[in-house]
Chains A and B, each alone.
Chain A
């Protein structure tokens, strides 16, 4: 069983569209994250959810919105996609805060044309 699964693996769409990326973890972790990896492979945190509460929200445009229907899911919705949104998006989970190992999904490569 995959511990952290995200779908789709690839997403190609046009500017202005709205899209979602789904993430599910079956590890029973209480914290889930979304990270963005840019073309230079630099990872930056976007959102963190702990027990369905948004803990941090970096300087991310409000076109991005995380949705967590339950502790095992954290989906990422993106409205009015822009060219600069093209990147690889990783979902991850951990038990507790930063002093617990992170478990990553396989990433979603988003290409906006």
Chain B
């Protein structure tokens, strides 16, 4: 069992829909990262959070430390949101454990 589990693996939505991607982890953490990998391959850090909720534009990330669970929400989804979303959890010194990613496709 992977230490960082994401669901769903694949997600197809219509433009405008509200999207939720989930991440559960079994290792202790100080912060959790949400990353976005576009079809071109580049990886961008979206959020780093250790408690509560963060919002950036149409993206919202929440975390529940007690339940070891985080969610990434996208409001009013758009085709340009199509990407792979990856959650990552720091582990020991400078180590990082990654989820397998959620491939999101938003259709116009």
Q: How far is the CB of B33 from chain A (nearest CB, A)?
A: 6
Residues of B within 8 A of A102 (CB): 33, 35, 45, 88, 96
Chain B residues with a Cβ closer than 8 Å to the other chain, count: 27
Q: Is B42's CB under 8 angstroms from A98's CB? A: no
CB-CB contacts below 8 Å: A54-106 with B: 55-56, 58, 88, 90, 92, 97-104, 106
**Interface size class of chain A, counting residues whose CB lies under 8 Å from the partner chain:** 20 to 34
Q: Is B90's CB under 8 angstroms from A98's CB? A: yes
Residues of B within 8 A of A106 (CB): 41-42
What is B's interface to A at a CB cutoff of 8 Å?
29-31, 33, 35, 37, 41-45, 48, 50, 84, 86, 88-96, 98, 100-101
19 contacts between A and B (CB under 8 A): A33-B94, A33-B96, A41-B100, A43-B88, A43-B98, A45-B95, A48-B93, A48-B94, A48-B95, A55-B93, A98-B91, A98-B94, A98-B96, A99-B90, A104-B42, A104-B44, A104-B45, A107-B41, A107-B43
What is A's interface to B at a CB cutoff of 8 Å?
31, 33, 40-45, 48, 50, 55-56, 58, 88, 90, 92, 97-104, 106-107, 109
